[in-house]
Chains A and B, each alone.
Chain A
Amino acid sequence: MAERLALIAKYTLGLAMAGIIYAMFLVVPQYVGLGEAGRIIIVHVPTAWVTSAAFALSAIYSIVYLRTRSPLHDASAVSAAEVGMLFCIFATVTGAIFAEVVWGTFWNWDPRETTILVLLLIYAAYFALRSSIDDGARRRRLSAVYNIFACVTMPFLLFVAPRVADSTLHPNCAFLQGSKCEGVSLDLNGAKISQLGDVVVELKAVERVGELTRAVVEVRMPGLTEYADLAPTMDSEGKAADRPEFPGQSFRMVLIEADPQAGTARVNMQAPGTGLLSNQRTLWVFLASNVTFGLLALWIFRIRATILQVSARLQTTEAL
Protein backbone atom coordinates (compact mmCIF):
# COMPACT_ATOMS: atom_id res chain seq x y z
CA MET A 1 0.00 0.00 0.00
CA ALA A 2 2.77 2.40 1.01
CA GLU A 3 4.69 1.57 -2.16
CA ARG A 4 1.65 2.24 -4.32
CA LEU A 5 1.12 5.63 -2.63
CA ALA A 6 4.78 6.48 -3.16
CA LEU A 7 4.46 5.61 -6.86
CA ILE A 8 1.33 7.78 -7.19
CA ALA A 9 3.20 10.64 -5.47
CA LYS A 10 6.07 10.30 -7.94
CA TYR A 11 3.77 10.39 -10.98
CA THR A 12 1.95 13.38 -9.46
CA LEU A 13 5.28 15.13 -9.08
CA GLY A 14 6.09 14.36 -12.72
CA LEU A 15 2.78 15.85 -13.85
CA ALA A 16 3.18 18.86 -11.55
CA MET A 17 6.60 19.65 -12.98
CA ALA A 18 5.22 19.33 -16.52
CA GLY A 19 2.46 21.73 -15.47
CA ILE A 20 5.02 24.19 -14.09
CA ILE A 21 6.92 24.09 -17.41
CA TYR A 22 3.67 24.67 -19.32
CA ALA A 23 2.68 27.56 -17.03
CA MET A 24 6.14 29.08 -17.16
CA PHE A 25 5.91 29.47 -20.93
CA LEU A 26 2.20 29.94 -21.55
CA VAL A 27 0.56 31.24 -18.34
CA VAL A 28 3.14 33.64 -16.89
CA PRO A 29 2.88 36.96 -18.77
CA GLN A 30 5.76 38.86 -20.30
CA TYR A 31 7.26 41.48 -18.04
CA VAL A 32 7.84 45.08 -19.11
CA GLY A 33 11.51 45.58 -19.87
CA LEU A 34 12.35 41.87 -19.67
CA GLY A 35 10.22 40.27 -22.36
CA GLU A 36 10.38 36.47 -22.28
CA ALA A 37 13.43 36.49 -19.98
CA GLY A 38 11.26 37.26 -16.94
CA ARG A 39 9.86 33.71 -17.07
CA ILE A 40 13.15 32.33 -15.79
CA ILE A 41 12.21 33.44 -12.26
CA ILE A 42 9.91 30.38 -12.12
CA VAL A 43 12.99 28.13 -12.22
CA HIS A 44 15.81 30.33 -10.97
CA VAL A 45 14.51 31.39 -7.54
CA PRO A 46 13.05 27.99 -6.43
CA THR A 47 16.33 26.25 -7.30
CA ALA A 48 18.19 28.81 -5.18
CA TRP A 49 15.79 28.17 -2.28
CA VAL A 50 16.19 24.41 -2.64
CA THR A 51 19.97 24.91 -2.59
CA SER A 52 19.86 26.58 0.81
CA ALA A 53 17.43 23.98 2.21
CA ALA A 54 19.57 21.08 0.96
CA PHE A 55 22.77 22.51 2.41
CA ALA A 56 21.01 23.10 5.74
CA LEU A 57 19.71 19.50 5.71
CA SER A 58 23.21 18.27 4.96
CA ALA A 59 24.58 20.14 7.99
CA ILE A 60 21.84 18.69 10.20
CA TYR A 61 22.80 15.15 9.12
CA SER A 62 26.46 15.99 9.78
CA ILE A 63 25.58 17.07 13.33
CA VAL A 64 23.58 13.85 13.80
CA TYR A 65 26.54 11.88 12.44
CA LEU A 66 28.92 13.48 14.95
CA ARG A 67 26.54 12.42 17.75
CA THR A 68 25.78 8.89 16.53
CA ARG A 69 28.84 8.07 14.34
CA SER A 70 26.55 6.10 12.07
CA PRO A 71 27.82 5.89 8.46
CA LEU A 72 24.18 5.99 7.33
CA HIS A 73 23.83 9.56 8.60
CA ASP A 74 27.06 10.50 6.87
CA ALA A 75 25.64 9.07 3.63
CA SER A 76 22.54 11.24 4.07
CA ALA A 77 24.71 14.32 4.68
CA VAL A 78 26.65 13.70 1.47
CA SER A 79 23.44 13.09 -0.50
CA ALA A 80 21.91 16.37 0.68
CA ALA A 81 25.13 18.26 -0.12
CA GLU A 82 25.16 16.73 -3.61
CA VAL A 83 21.54 17.78 -4.19
CA GLY A 84 22.39 21.27 -2.94
CA MET A 85 25.37 21.45 -5.28
CA LEU A 86 23.28 20.27 -8.24
CA PHE A 87 20.58 22.88 -7.64
CA CYS A 88 23.17 25.58 -6.88
CA ILE A 89 24.74 24.96 -10.31
CA PHE A 90 21.26 25.08 -11.83
CA ALA A 91 20.49 28.41 -10.10
CA THR A 92 23.84 29.84 -11.22
CA VAL A 93 23.35 28.79 -14.84
CA THR A 94 19.77 30.09 -15.06
CA GLY A 95 20.92 33.34 -13.39
CA ALA A 96 23.72 33.71 -15.93
CA ILE A 97 21.24 33.21 -18.79
CA PHE A 98 19.00 35.89 -17.25
CA ALA A 99 22.02 38.20 -16.89
CA GLU A 100 22.92 37.72 -20.54
CA VAL A 101 19.44 38.64 -21.69
CA VAL A 102 18.91 41.59 -19.34
CA TRP A 103 22.37 42.92 -18.51
CA GLY A 104 24.07 41.91 -21.77
CA THR A 105 26.67 39.61 -20.25
CA PHE A 106 26.64 36.13 -18.74
CA TRP A 107 28.95 37.14 -15.90
CA ASN A 108 29.78 40.63 -14.61
CA TRP A 109 30.89 39.83 -11.04
CA ASP A 110 27.72 41.25 -9.59
CA PRO A 111 27.74 40.70 -5.76
CA ARG A 112 25.01 38.05 -6.15
CA GLU A 113 27.01 36.19 -8.79
CA THR A 114 30.22 36.43 -6.79
CA THR A 115 28.72 35.12 -3.55
CA ILE A 116 27.02 32.13 -5.21
CA LEU A 117 30.33 31.27 -6.89
CA VAL A 118 32.06 31.40 -3.49
CA LEU A 119 29.35 29.07 -2.11
CA LEU A 120 29.90 26.65 -4.99
CA LEU A 121 33.65 26.65 -4.29
CA ILE A 122 33.09 26.05 -0.56
CA TYR A 123 31.00 22.94 -1.28
CA ALA A 124 33.36 21.84 -4.06
CA ALA A 125 36.06 21.88 -1.35
CA TYR A 126 33.78 19.67 0.80
CA PHE A 127 33.73 16.99 -1.90
CA ALA A 128 37.47 17.46 -2.51
CA LEU A 129 38.08 16.94 1.21
CA ARG A 130 36.04 13.73 1.21
CA SER A 131 37.89 12.31 -1.77
CA SER A 132 41.31 13.16 -0.28
CA ILE A 133 41.04 11.02 2.88
CA ASP A 134 41.24 7.23 2.57
CA ASP A 135 40.42 6.28 6.13
CA GLY A 136 36.61 6.01 6.24
CA ALA A 137 35.98 7.04 9.84
CA ARG A 138 38.40 9.99 9.63
CA ARG A 139 36.90 11.10 6.32
CA ARG A 140 33.39 11.07 7.75
CA ARG A 141 34.38 12.90 10.93
CA LEU A 142 36.41 15.68 9.26
CA SER A 143 33.95 16.24 6.44
CA ALA A 144 31.07 16.45 8.93
CA VAL A 145 32.87 19.19 10.85
CA TYR A 146 33.73 21.01 7.62
CA ASN A 147 30.13 20.69 6.43
CA ILE A 148 28.81 22.41 9.55
CA PHE A 149 31.20 25.34 9.04
CA ALA A 150 30.30 25.48 5.33
CA CYS A 151 26.62 25.71 6.21
CA VAL A 152 27.30 28.60 8.60
CA THR A 153 28.64 30.65 5.66
CA MET A 154 25.63 29.81 3.46
CA PRO A 155 23.05 32.30 4.88
CA PHE A 156 25.66 35.04 4.84
CA LEU A 157 26.62 34.36 1.22
CA LEU A 158 23.08 33.85 -0.08
CA PHE A 159 21.09 36.36 1.93
CA VAL A 160 23.28 38.89 3.75
CA ALA A 161 26.27 39.75 1.54
CA PRO A 162 24.25 40.65 -1.59
CA ARG A 163 22.10 42.97 0.51
CA VAL A 164 24.95 44.83 2.19
CA ALA A 165 26.84 45.20 -1.11
CA ASP A 166 27.10 48.76 -2.43
CA SER A 167 25.14 48.07 -5.57
CA THR A 168 23.79 45.16 -7.53
CA LEU A 169 21.62 44.72 -10.58
CA HIS A 170 19.95 41.66 -9.07
CA PRO A 171 16.20 42.38 -9.13
CA ASN A 172 14.98 43.63 -5.79
CA CYS A 173 14.31 47.21 -4.84
CA ALA A 174 16.18 46.81 -1.57
CA PHE A 175 19.32 45.59 -3.31
CA LEU A 176 20.23 48.72 -5.25
CA GLN A 177 22.50 51.09 -3.44
CA GLY A 178 20.41 53.69 -1.68
CA SER A 179 17.13 52.50 -3.11
CA LYS A 180 14.32 51.98 -0.68
CA CYS A 181 11.29 49.82 -1.21
CA GLU A 182 9.12 52.81 -0.44
CA GLY A 183 11.14 55.22 -2.69
CA VAL A 184 11.70 58.93 -2.01
CA SER A 185 8.97 61.57 -1.83
CA LEU A 186 9.47 64.85 -3.67
CA ASP A 187 7.38 68.00 -3.37
CA LEU A 188 7.43 70.91 -5.84
CA ASN A 189 6.42 73.26 -3.03
CA GLY A 190 8.76 71.80 -0.43
CA ALA A 191 11.55 69.23 -0.47
CA LYS A 192 11.93 68.84 -4.21
CA ILE A 193 15.53 67.59 -4.02
CA SER A 194 16.50 64.25 -2.52
CA GLN A 195 18.89 61.38 -3.00
CA LEU A 196 18.49 57.83 -4.22
CA GLY A 197 21.79 56.38 -3.07
CA ASP A 198 24.46 58.53 -4.65
CA VAL A 199 22.14 59.89 -7.34
CA VAL A 200 20.64 63.33 -6.70
CA VAL A 201 17.04 63.66 -7.89
CA GLU A 202 15.13 66.92 -8.27
CA LEU A 203 11.44 67.15 -9.12
CA LYS A 204 10.79 69.61 -11.97
CA ALA A 205 7.13 68.97 -12.77
CA VAL A 206 4.17 66.70 -12.15
CA GLU A 207 1.53 66.78 -14.86
CA ARG A 208 -1.30 64.86 -16.50
CA VAL A 209 -0.65 63.71 -20.06
CA GLY A 210 -3.82 62.09 -21.38
CA GLU A 211 -4.49 58.98 -19.28
CA LEU A 212 -1.04 59.10 -17.73
CA THR A 213 0.49 61.07 -14.90
CA ARG A 214 4.05 62.13 -15.60
CA ALA A 215 6.79 63.39 -13.29
CA VAL A 216 9.76 65.20 -14.73
CA VAL A 217 12.78 64.50 -12.56
CA GLU A 218 16.29 65.81 -13.09
CA VAL A 219 18.92 63.27 -12.07
CA ARG A 220 22.54 64.12 -11.33
CA MET A 221 24.79 61.11 -11.45
CA PRO A 222 27.62 60.59 -8.90
CA GLY A 223 30.39 63.17 -9.24
CA LEU A 224 27.92 65.29 -11.24
CA THR A 225 29.30 63.60 -14.34
CA GLU A 226 25.94 63.45 -16.08
CA TYR A 227 22.64 65.28 -15.87
CA ALA A 228 19.42 64.07 -17.42
CA ASP A 229 15.71 64.79 -17.24
CA LEU A 230 13.79 61.55 -16.76
CA ALA A 231 10.03 61.37 -17.20
CA PRO A 232 8.57 58.26 -15.53
CA THR A 233 4.81 57.86 -15.90
CA MET A 234 1.99 55.95 -14.25
CA ASP A 235 -1.50 55.08 -15.49
CA SER A 236 -4.84 55.99 -13.90
CA GLU A 237 -4.79 52.79 -11.79
CA GLY A 238 -1.48 53.76 -10.25
CA LYS A 239 0.61 51.25 -12.19
CA ALA A 240 4.00 52.37 -13.46
CA ALA A 241 4.05 52.82 -17.24
CA ASP A 242 7.25 54.38 -18.63
CA ARG A 243 10.36 53.51 -16.64
CA PRO A 244 13.24 55.51 -18.10
CA GLU A 245 16.80 54.32 -17.56
CA PHE A 246 19.26 56.33 -15.49
CA PRO A 247 22.02 57.69 -17.74
CA GLY A 248 24.70 55.07 -18.36
CA GLN A 249 23.03 52.54 -16.00
CA SER A 250 20.92 49.43 -16.41
CA PHE A 251 18.45 50.37 -13.69
CA ARG A 252 15.37 52.48 -14.19
CA MET A 253 13.36 55.19 -12.51
CA VAL A 254 9.83 54.25 -11.56
CA LEU A 255 6.99 56.55 -10.51
CA ILE A 256 5.18 55.06 -7.51
CA GLU A 257 2.78 57.88 -6.58
CA ALA A 258 2.00 61.28 -8.08
CA ASP A 259 -0.45 64.08 -7.38
CA PRO A 260 -0.38 66.83 -10.05
CA GLN A 261 -2.63 69.13 -7.98
CA ALA A 262 -0.46 68.94 -4.87
CA GLY A 263 2.74 68.85 -6.93
CA THR A 264 4.08 65.74 -5.18
CA ALA A 265 5.61 62.56 -6.51
CA ARG A 266 7.30 59.47 -5.13
CA VAL A 267 9.99 57.84 -7.23
CA ASN A 268 12.38 54.95 -6.80
CA MET A 269 15.06 53.11 -8.72
CA GLN A 270 14.44 49.61 -9.96
CA ALA A 271 16.65 46.97 -11.46
CA PRO A 272 15.16 45.11 -14.41
CA GLY A 273 12.81 42.47 -13.03
CA THR A 274 11.88 44.22 -9.79
CA GLY A 275 8.25 43.63 -8.92
CA LEU A 276 7.96 40.55 -11.11
CA LEU A 277 5.82 38.76 -8.53
CA SER A 278 3.23 41.54 -8.27
CA ASN A 279 1.38 39.78 -11.08
CA GLN A 280 -1.02 37.21 -9.56
CA ARG A 281 -0.51 34.55 -12.24
CA THR A 282 3.26 34.82 -11.92
CA LEU A 283 3.01 34.68 -8.14
CA TRP A 284 0.89 31.48 -8.05
CA VAL A 285 3.02 29.69 -10.62
CA PHE A 286 6.09 30.79 -8.67
CA LEU A 287 4.71 29.39 -5.38
CA ALA A 288 3.73 26.10 -7.04
CA SER A 289 7.18 25.93 -8.58
CA ASN A 290 8.81 26.32 -5.15
CA VAL A 291 6.82 23.36 -3.79
CA THR A 292 7.47 21.20 -6.87
CA PHE A 293 11.20 21.86 -6.95
CA GLY A 294 11.36 21.18 -3.21
CA LEU A 295 9.68 17.79 -3.66
CA LEU A 296 11.89 16.98 -6.65
CA ALA A 297 14.98 17.73 -4.56
CA LEU A 298 13.63 15.53 -1.78
CA TRP A 299 13.09 12.66 -4.22
CA ILE A 300 16.60 12.96 -5.68
CA PHE A 301 17.99 13.13 -2.14
CA ARG A 302 16.20 9.92 -1.14
CA ILE A 303 17.42 8.04 -4.21
CA ARG A 304 21.01 9.15 -3.68
CA ALA A 305 20.85 8.52 0.06
CA THR A 306 19.56 4.97 -0.54
CA ILE A 307 22.46 4.22 -2.90
CA LEU A 308 25.09 5.66 -0.55
CA GLN A 309 23.56 3.92 2.48
CA VAL A 310 23.66 0.57 0.66
CA SER A 311 27.29 1.28 -0.19
CA ALA A 312 28.02 2.12 3.47
CA ARG A 313 26.34 -1.11 4.62
CA LEU A 314 28.42 -3.15 2.16
CA GLN A 315 31.63 -1.49 3.35
CA THR A 316 30.71 -2.18 6.98
CA THR A 317 29.98 -5.84 6.16
CA GLU A 318 33.30 -6.20 4.30
CA ALA A 319 35.18 -4.61 7.19
CA LEU A 320 33.70 -7.23 9.53
Chain B
Amino acid sequence: MQVVLDAGVAIYIAMSVALVVWLGVFIYLLRIDAQAKELKRLVLAAHQESTPATPRATVEHRTPHAQ
Protein backbone atom coordinates (compact mmCIF):
# COMPACT_ATOMS: atom_id res chain seq x y z
CA MET B 1 0.00 0.00 0.00
CA GLN B 2 2.85 2.34 0.82
CA VAL B 3 4.33 1.77 -2.64
CA VAL B 4 1.03 2.79 -4.30
CA LEU B 5 0.92 6.06 -2.36
CA ASP B 6 4.52 6.92 -3.18
CA ALA B 7 4.59 10.21 -5.13
CA GLY B 8 6.57 8.70 -8.02
CA VAL B 9 4.21 5.73 -8.42
CA ALA B 10 0.89 7.37 -7.50
CA ILE B 11 0.78 9.44 -10.69
CA TYR B 12 1.13 6.30 -12.84
CA ILE B 13 -1.60 4.60 -10.80
CA ALA B 14 -3.89 7.64 -11.23
CA MET B 15 -3.19 7.70 -14.98
CA SER B 16 -3.88 3.97 -15.29
CA VAL B 17 -7.18 4.32 -13.45
CA ALA B 18 -8.20 7.23 -15.71
CA LEU B 19 -7.26 5.25 -18.83
CA VAL B 20 -9.22 2.19 -17.70
CA VAL B 21 -12.28 4.36 -16.95
CA TRP B 22 -11.99 6.00 -20.38
CA LEU B 23 -11.64 2.59 -22.05
CA GLY B 24 -14.86 1.47 -20.35
CA VAL B 25 -16.71 4.65 -21.36
CA PHE B 26 -15.38 4.39 -24.93
CA ILE B 27 -16.48 0.76 -25.38
CA TYR B 28 -19.88 1.62 -23.89
CA LEU B 29 -20.28 4.55 -26.31
CA LEU B 30 -19.26 2.42 -29.31
CA ARG B 31 -21.80 -0.26 -28.39
CA ILE B 32 -24.65 2.12 -27.67
CA ASP B 33 -23.87 4.05 -30.87
CA ALA B 34 -24.10 0.88 -32.96
CA GLN B 35 -27.32 -0.17 -31.22
CA ALA B 36 -28.90 3.26 -31.71
CA LYS B 37 -28.08 3.20 -35.42
CA GLU B 38 -29.49 -0.30 -35.81
CA LEU B 39 -32.65 0.74 -33.96
CA LYS B 40 -33.06 3.76 -36.23
CA ARG B 41 -32.61 1.57 -39.32
CA LEU B 42 -35.23 -0.94 -38.11
CA VAL B 43 -37.74 1.76 -37.21
CA LEU B 44 -37.33 3.53 -40.54
CA ALA B 45 -37.68 0.22 -42.40
CA ALA B 46 -40.80 -0.72 -40.41
CA HIS B 47 -42.22 2.75 -40.99
CA GLN B 48 -41.77 2.41 -44.74
CA GLU B 49 -43.37 -1.06 -44.77
CA SER B 50 -46.37 0.03 -42.72
CA THR B 51 -47.03 3.10 -44.85
CA PRO B 52 -50.04 2.23 -47.01
CA ALA B 53 -49.57 2.51 -50.73
CA THR B 54 -50.84 5.78 -52.04
CA PRO B 55 -53.65 5.30 -54.57
CA ARG B 56 -52.66 6.59 -57.94
CA ALA B 57 -54.73 7.57 -60.92
CA THR B 58 -53.80 8.72 -64.32
CA VAL B 59 -55.99 11.29 -65.91
CA GLU B 60 -55.96 11.15 -69.64
CA HIS B 61 -57.67 13.83 -71.61
CA ARG B 62 -59.35 12.52 -74.68
CA THR B 63 -61.24 14.44 -77.22
CA PRO B 64 -63.76 12.00 -78.77
CA HIS B 65 -64.08 13.79 -82.11
CA ALA B 66 -60.46 14.38 -82.67
CA GLN B 67 -58.79 12.33 -85.31
Q: What residues of B have a CB within 8 angstroms of the CB of A24 in the complex?
A: 15, 18
B61 at the interface (CB under 8 A from A): no
C-beta contact mask, A1-43 vs B, less than 8 Å → 1, else 0?
A: 0000000001000100110011011100000000010000000
Query: Do A313 and B26 form a contact, CB below 8 Å, given A36-B11, A306-B40?
Result: no
Residue pair B32, A17 in contact (C-beta under 8 Å): no
Chain B stretch 1-31: residues in CB contact (< 8 A) with chain A: 11-12, 14-15, 18-19, 22-23, 26, 29-30
With CB as the reference atom, state the residue of chain B lying closest to A302: B33
Residue pair B15, A303 in contact (C-beta under 8 Å): no
Number of B residues near A (Cβ < 8 Å) is: 21
**Chain B min CB distance to A44 (Å):** 14
Q: What residues of B have a CB within 8 angstroms of the CB of A137 in the complex?
A: none
Residue pair A310, B15 in contact (C-beta under 8 Å): no
User: In the bound complex, how far is the Cα of B43 from the Cα of A310, in angstroms?
Assistant: 7
Residue pair A17, B15 in contact (C-beta under 8 Å): no
Residue pair B47, A317 in contact (C-beta under 8 Å): yes
User: In the bound complex, how far is the Cα of B36 from the Cα of A124, in angstroms?
Assistant: 25
Q: What residues of A have a CB within 8 angstroms of the CB of B39 in the complex?
A: 306-307, 310
B65 at the interface (CB under 8 A from A): no
Provide a sorted-by-A list of 30 A–B residue pairs whose CB atoms are within 8 angstroms.
Answer: A10-B30, A14-B22, A17-B26, A18-B19, A18-B22, A18-B23, A21-B15, A21-B18, A21-B19, A21-B22, A22-B19, A24-B18, A25-B14, A25-B18, A36-B11, A299-B29, A303-B29, A303-B32, A303-B33, A306-B36, A306-B39, A307-B36, A309-B40, A310-B36, A310-B39, A310-B40, A310-B43, A313-B43, A313-B44, A313-B47
Given contacts A14-B22, A14-B26, A21-B19, 15 further A-B contacts (CB under 8 A): A10-B33, A17-B22, A18-B19, A21-B22, A24-B15, A25-B11, A25-B14, A25-B18, A306-B39, A306-B40, A309-B40, A310-B36, A310-B39, A313-B43, A317-B50
Seen from chain A, the residues whose Cβ lies within 8 Å of a Cβ on chain B are 10, 14, 17-18, 21-22, 24-26, 36, 299-300, 302-303, 306-307, 309-310, 313-314, 317
